[in-house]
Structure 1
């Protein structure tokens, strides 16, 4: 498979990350934290459709965390693994042909640093789609165990095909401390690859225990989850919203006939409980606007994280 411009962009981005890492000051690097977030519409509207489920797992390595991002790119590195299932409105029968089924797996490398007043996150992912990921078979087997609807042959035969999509992602944010317990994080995000889009939005973090963590952004929902936990106990709230212009998406192949909408909107809220170093809980809900022409409504999904690190 020829990678074309995507391959060139990905190769350049990987070289940049590697060079930045090599130039970082020589200092012992260690595991700083593990971030994880499980999202499913079962935790919200119970409908098992569209952006129905995803799991993000991030391993963060770097120099000792001081409560703020380092000034050097590559000093903090995130190794990111993701899985996602995107399904039609129904897995069989009426409504099973409104969009193509998507099973996706990805692995990537990202760096998080600051430059002046900007927080910068940049990296690349390789996103695999199609039957090769095994996601459809996994969902079908799970549904069989719990007597949930099975996936029809028609959905299976018309799913997004096998491919690998090099994807580059950059986010610029400018945190503003409103007081000692509240901060505003407006951001701009650009992505090129499996989905090509430009997104603008903002998040509000409320609570002293949330002000010194390294925040990572979940791809489908935009929810912020901790990559490095500063360890303060307490309760905090996160509110956010964003708007995106979409120019291309591999999740809507031309052969299927469904056309992606040019605009998307997300709104989210979440609650963090932290009981001490390594023990925390998060629950959030996200509204996702319609993604394709003919989608009758948006959807609400729920996100969970439960950490017990001993």
Structure 2
């Protein structure tokens, strides 16, 4: 599957070049169309400070001018993504390796018939080289929290993660949409996933919605001017082939399936100011994990 990730990477950026070349023949300028961000931490969930304990993603979106709010051809709407994550074992048992990870990547969002496609790749830096273990240790010391267990951290390395998603949008009412999806990932983690999200309310219906890697929560990459409250309910199931974060050479056994169940609320009182909170249940990721966990997600947005 590592070779598949390399093939996907080459095909992906060949497609980007072809798509962008076609777009530039008619549309030479690009414009910024929005920024998306999401902060996840189990402090806002079950509060146990373990496993998928914390992550942050920032996405900058650009599109070929003129952008009319609709997805078009491959490479014409681009997401440039920065992400960090800390995966921690329980302090008592050291049941999985400590992982500090920083990644950067590019993803294109486009229409293909009735489907909305997301296709892209990220380069991951893993290990003490990221400095995230020192950051977490200093943070815990400053707030008199228990010291994190970092002695079994994954060694310094780089990896690639390719991902692709196909999503369909079915309008149930003018303010309610059902969005089933399928996803495939190859590289640092190899899996296929299927699920759906239900969005109820006006806020976010016309935005470019991006999927968080850890929770699957949909966060807004663009911001429409609708005001009010919207609710999101979703879930998915993944079949897992392999995970770099659970090396079998060290005796870790990844669970063959993963499930996620999530709910969230978007509140936009006025255009340019919005708030999101969500909670996600994550099932066991490895055989020694004795239960699932709940992770909370937050986003505050102020555009003036």
Mapping for residues 101-180 of structure 1, pairs under 5 Å: 101-152=98-149, 155-156=150-151, 158-180=152-174
* 2:51 alignment counterpart: 50
* Inter-partner Cα distance in structure 2 for 1:5 and 1:74: 21
Q: Give the secondary structure class of the aligned counterpart of 2:250.
A: coil
Q: How does 1:264-283 map to 2 (within 5 A)?
A: 264-283=258-277
Q: Which runs of 5+ in 2 are unaligned?
A: none
Q: Does 1:247 align with 2:248?
A: no
State the shift of 1:51 in Å. 0.2
Q: 1:47 to 1:110 in 2, by over 3 A?
A: same
The answer to whether the 8 A contact 1:182-1:207 is kept is: yes
Q: Is the 8 A contact 1:42 1:301 kept in 2?
A: yes
Contact 1:99 / 1:256 at 8 angstroms: preserved in 2?
no
Tell whether 2:54 aligns with 1:60: no
TM-superposed deviation, 1:253: 1.4
Q: Are the counterparts in 1 of residues 203 and 266 from structure 2 also a CA contact under 8 Å?
A: no
CA contact (8 A) 1:100 1:256 kept: no
Q: Distance in 2 between matches of 1:65 and 1:35?
A: 17
CA distance in 2, matches of 1:37, 1:64: 27
Tell me the TM-score normalised to structure 1 length. Answer: 0.93
CA change 1:65–1:287 in 2 (3 A) is farther
Where does residue 21 of structure 1 map in the other structure?
20
Distance 2:4 2:112 in 1: 28
- Comparing 17-26 with 230-239, greater Cα deviation is found at 17-26
TM-score, with normalisation over the residues of structure 2? Answer: 0.95
Q: Of the candidates 174, 192, 216, which is equivalent to residue 198 of structure 1?
A: 192
Contact 1:6–1:193 (Cα < 8 Å) also in 2: yes
3-state DSSP of counterpart to 1:104: strand
Matches for 1:80-119 after TM superposition, within 5 Å = 80-90=81-91, 94-95=92-93, 97-119=94-116
Q: Is the 8 A contact 1:283 1:303 kept in 2?
A: yes
* Equivalent pairs, count: 300
Aligned to 1:10: 9
8 Å CA contact 2:15, 2:75 repeated in 1: no
Distance in 2 (alpha carbons) for counterparts of 1:148 and 1:64 = 50
SS of corresponding position for 1:19 = helix
- CA–CA separation in structure 2 for the residues paired with 1:242 and 1:136: 30
Which residue in the other structure is 1:69 paired with? 71
SS at match of 1:245: strand
